[in-house]
Amino acid sequence: MNRKLFNILKISGIYLVLIFFALVYLMPFIRSLFGSFMTWEQASYFPPQWIPNPMTFTNYLKLVEISLFPTWIINTAIYSGIIVLVNILTASMSGYAFASLNFPKKDLIFNTLLALLMIPPFVTLIPNFIIYVKLGIIDNLFGLAILSTANISSIFLMRQYYFSLGKELFEAARIDGANPLKAFFYIALPLGRPALGAISIYNFLAAWNAFLGPLVFLRSPENYTLPVGLSFAFSRSIWSDYGPIIAGSLIASAPTILLFVVLNKYLIRGIVIRASKG
């Protein structure tokens, strides 16, 4: 009886801790949700007011009044889609090559790629900007996407996943007469769907929420992505209208929340793959 009571108390304690941390992480979102229906005077009041009184849709109406708001959403979707699709191809092919093919200096090349993860992206920002100016692709949404079409973390994840399948599978394909390219398209790529789902989510979230890259490389308001567009529309040098920014951020978060709910198992799978040994 004491043992059973101890287990109940233990499980209850674990759930209480998990609920506490879940509320801590959800608090900013809940606060933003209520704040989007307040005026900025209400939202910035201290101590904070949680219930809008009176409730107002002014912040959302301000978004509707911006003619470029739908364009920014479309730009963000295009930018994210390009990055996801190209990363699926580059990461899967690179991961397959590093996991199953033999070529000179393979380990050296892979370790060099991993070493590049240590370089902060801010270091390469100015050199990339100079290159883009020379190429004449500044203020180009497709040109901006080039910077993120090869992700080292995605390559590492795919390599780990193909390692987990075992080399015997690809050796059997070679014995049956399949060349490396055929083995990739007919065996590696179909079997890699769980890992591809994980890297798709990671890259989509990063691209959808990207701010610094679009801010630096895009110049025309009609080419802005949603995060940069919201800042452009409601931020000034000495004052910002945070109400519409909060409302716009909630609208922008809707696709990512939906993606998380639908493809949550792939995120978990991606974490498991990252933790595995190559």
For the stretch 195-224, pLDDT in tens is: 888 888 889 989 998 998 899 999 899 999
User: How would residue 266 be classed by pLDDT, with cut points 50, 70 and 90?
Assistant: low
Write out the DSSP string of 93-147.
HHHHHHHH---TTHHHHHHHHHHHTTS-TTTTHHHHHHHHHHHT-TT-HHHHHHT
Q: What percent of the chain has pLDDT over 70?
A: 93
pLDDT of 175 higher than 60: yes
Contacts of 60 (CB under 8 A, 6+ apart): 36, 244, 247
Report, as an integer, the average pLDDT of 105-132.
Answer: 88
In this predicted structure, what is the pLDDT of residue 195? 86
Q: Residue 235: which residues within 8 A CB-CB, separation 6 or more?
A: 241, 245
Give yes or no for residue 90 having a pLDDT over 60: yes
Confidence grade of residue 122 (pLDDT, cut at 50, 70, 90)? confident
Contact 233, 66 (CB under 8 A): yes
What are 52-84's pLDDT values in tens digits? 877 888 888 888 888 899 999 999 999 999 999
Domain 66-275 carries which CATH code?
1.10.3720.10
What pLDDT score was predicted for residue 80?
93
User: Is residue 147 within 8 Å of residue 212, measured between CB atoms?
Assistant: no
Residue 272: which pLDDT band, with cuts at 50, 70 and 90? low
Asked if the model's pLDDT at residue 125 lies above 70, the reply is: yes
d(CA 127, CA 133) in angstroms, rounded, equals 10
Q: Span 152-168, mean pLDDT?
A: 86
Residue 11 has pLDDT above 60, yes or no: yes
pLDDT at 147: 86
What is the reported pLDDT for 194?
83
Percent composition of the chain: helix, strand, coil (DSSP 3-state, to 5):
75, 0, 25
Q: What is the mean pLDDT of the chain?
A: 85
Residue 108: per-residue pLDDT: 92
Peptide bond into 70 cis (omega under 30): no
Q: What percent of the chain has pLDDT over 90?
A: 21
| pTM confidence score | 0.82
Find the angle CA(99)-CA(100)-CA(101) to the nearest 5 degrees.
110
Kindly list the domain boundaries of the chain, sorted by start residue.
1-57, 66-275
The one-letter amino acid code at 18 reads L
Q: What pLDDT does 72 receive?
A: 93
pLDDT of residue 20: 92
pLDDT for the residue 277: 46
Q: Is the pLDDT of residue 273 over 70?
A: no
From 171, 169, 166, 162, select the one nearest 189 (Cα to Cα): 162
Task: Report residue 46's pLDDT band, with 50, 70 and 90 as the boundaries.
Answer: confident
Query: Which candidate, 240, 237, 232, 214, places its Cα nearest to that of 68?
Result: 232
